[in-house]
Amino acid sequence: MKYLDEFRDPVLARRLLDEIRERVTRPRVLMEVCGGQTHSLLRYGIETELQGNVELIHGPGCPVRVTPAEAINFAQELALQPDVVVASFGDMLRVPGSTRSLADVRGAGGNVRIVYSPLDAIELARKKSDRHVVFFAVGFETTAPATALAVLQAAALGLDNFSLLVAHVRVLPAMEALMAAPGCRVQGFLAAGHVCTVTGFEEYDDFVRRHRTPVVVTGFEPVDLLGGILDCVTQLEEGRAEVTNQYARSVQRSGNVASQDVVGQVYEIADTPWRGLGVIPAGGYRLRPEFQMFDAAYRFADVASQQVTNSSVGNSGSSECHSGEVLSGRLRPIECPAFGTRCTPESPLGAPMVSSEGACSAYFRYQSQAGR
């Protein structure tokens, strides 16, 4: 299959592995930003192959695990309202809020539908004119253009029974927050290829200059990842720090301008809570005031305020879940005391164990069986 097989080529991958090992003069610490990259690294055993040469810290780039429990609780409350349907990407269903998941709520009679695109939620709203459809808009810059487009379409259609529960996040502010955190060990970043397809990578120039840390835009297949790692360690060995693009088949320097325009029309940048990391300045999006009527938090302000009272203890997940430390790279998933025992993909304590891209779930799937 074109664009796939050549990036899983075992011969090329081996050659890159050898080159990385040759290039590295002392152990280097890199962070792959995106959860999809984490899964590939573990799935193909790349992390193990590079042991002693490159340590990979798994970054926060998984929308499922950074969506705050409060947003999930709110979605659950909405799903239990009469005449409301919550439409969501499948991944979000099993993520626990403060006490339970959307899947639990669906089992208890809540109205939750899996959709594959925000535009499917628009279709749902058109068909079910007696129901209000709330789309749970999660994800990074990758999914924001599609949800923004849904809002524009809803406005064009004059849909009164459609709104978004917005929990969109932005990746660069999270990288800033990680670099500012005490004890940050990251020496270089593999930036998320999908996000950069939309945003481009011009905005990393300033980040690289200030932190003197290489950022390599990287894809998701083994050859992509190894190419990104090689580029990053080469820069470190040569004392350089630049933004480079190892995912040129998808990413252009200025990104997808049309998508950026749509996002800019509908959303504005806002300080946003991240699960496990707290509020990150400029860390996400909110709807612009002119699209307030499509904001579920506005339309269902009564439900939202009730929900805030309920969660006034500030509970944003199980106290036993160390996802904050995992997300910031201070704790490896297998070092968590609950890993694989009280916390498994079937019965997750926190979001990183849920998603197909969560770091804990990746370790559970690909690495932990020796110890089980």
Partner 1 sequence: MADESWQLHCPIPIPADSDRISLAHGEGGRLMRRLIEEQILPRFRDSGDAVRSPGDAALLPAIDSGLALTTDSFVASPLFFPGGDVGRLAVFGTVNDLVVAGAEPLWLSLSLIIEEGLPVAVLERVLDSAAAAAVEAGVRIVTGDTKVVPRGAADGLFLNTSGVGRILEPAPPGPESLQPGDELIISGPIGRHGIAILAAREQLGLTPSPETDCACLREPARCLRDAAIPVRAMRDATRGGVTAVLHEWAAASGHTLTIDAIAIPTTPDVRGAAELLGLDPLHIANEGTMLIAVPQGTGAAAVAALQGSAISREATVIGRLGQRGVAPVTVVRALGREQPLDEPSGILLPRIC
Helix (H, G, I), strand (E, B) or coil at 301: helix
134 and 78 Cβ atoms separated by less than 8 Å = yes
Phi/psi for 320 (5° steps) reads: -85, -10
Task: State yes or no: residue 363 binds partner 1 (CB under 8 A).
Answer: no
Task: State yes or no: residue 13 binds partner 1 (CB under 8 A).
Answer: yes
- Identify which of residues 50 and 236 has a Cβ nearer to partner 1 in the complex: 50
Residue 44 C-beta: closest distance to partner 1, Å: 5
- Identify which of residues 187 and 361 has a Cβ nearer to partner 1 in the complex: 361
Task: State yes or no: residue 346 binds partner 1 (CB under 8 A).
Answer: yes
Q: What does 302-341 look like in DSSP terms, one character per residue?
A: HHHHHHHHHTTT---S-TT--HHHHHTTSS-GGGSTTBTT
Task: State yes or no: residue 345 binds partner 1 (CB under 8 A).
Answer: yes
Site residue total, partner 1 (CB under 8 A): 45
Residue numbers 18-37 binding partner 1 by CB under 8 A: 36
Residue numbers 284-303 binding partner 1 by CB under 8 A: none
Task: State yes or no: residue 89 binds partner 1 (CB under 8 A).
Answer: yes
**Cβ of 128: how many Cβ atoms within 10 Å?**
15
Residue 106 C-beta: closest distance to partner 1, Å: 11
Helix (H, G, I), strand (E, B) or coil at 362: helix
Amino acid residing at 70: E
Residue 19 C-beta: closest distance to partner 1, Å: 14
Helix (H, G, I), strand (E, B) or coil at 99: coil
Task: State yes or no: residue 355 binds partner 1 (CB under 8 A).
Answer: yes
Residue 10 C-beta: closest distance to partner 1, Å: 5
Exactly one of 92, 304, 321, 343 binds partner 1 (CB under 8 A); that residue is 92
Interior angle at CA 334, CA 332 and CA 335, nearest 5 = 65
Residue 227 C-beta: closest distance to partner 1, Å: 14
Residue numbers 301-340 binding partner 1 by CB under 8 A: none
- Identify which of residues 149 and 208 has a Cβ nearer to partner 1 in the complex: 149
Residue numbers 64-83 binding partner 1 by CB under 8 A: 64
- Identify which of residues 45 and 281 has a Cβ nearer to partner 1 in the complex: 45
- Identify which of residues 139 and 350 has a Cβ nearer to partner 1 in the complex: 139
Residue 31's nearest CA partner among 317, 337, 328 is 328
- Identify which of residues 13 and 304 has a Cβ nearer to partner 1 in the complex: 13
**Any residues with CB less than 8 A from the CB of 131 and at least 6 apart, and which?**
83, 84, 85, 111, 125, 161
Residue numbers 120-159 binding partner 1 by CB under 8 A: 138-140, 142-143
Exactly one of 14, 185, 240, 249 binds partner 1 (CB under 8 A); that residue is 14
- Compute the half-sphere exposure of residue 115: CA atoms within 13 Å on the CB side of its CA: 25
Residue 131's nearest CA partner among 160, 88, 165, 102 is 160
Edge-first strand order for the sheet with 162-168 is 112-114, 84-88, 132-139, 162-168
Residue 8 C-beta: closest distance to partner 1, Å: 5
- Dist. CA 155–CA 168, nearest whole Å: 20
Exactly one of 222, 227, 255, 350 binds partner 1 (CB under 8 A); that residue is 222
The residue assigned the tokens 């307030």 is 292
The residue assigned the tokens 């944003």 is 316
Interface pattern 233-272 for partner 1 (x via CB under 8 A): ----------------------------------------
**Any residues with CB less than 8 A from the CB of 135 and at least 6 apart, and which?**
86, 87, 88, 115, 118, 121, 147, 150, 162, 163, 164, 165
Residue 185 C-beta: closest distance to partner 1, Å: 26
- Dist. CA 45–CA 156, nearest whole Å: 48
Contact residues: partner 1, CB under 8 A:
1, 4, 8-10, 13-14, 17, 36, 43-46, 48-49, 63-64, 89-94, 114, 116, 138-140, 142-143, 194, 222, 344-346, 355-357, 364-370
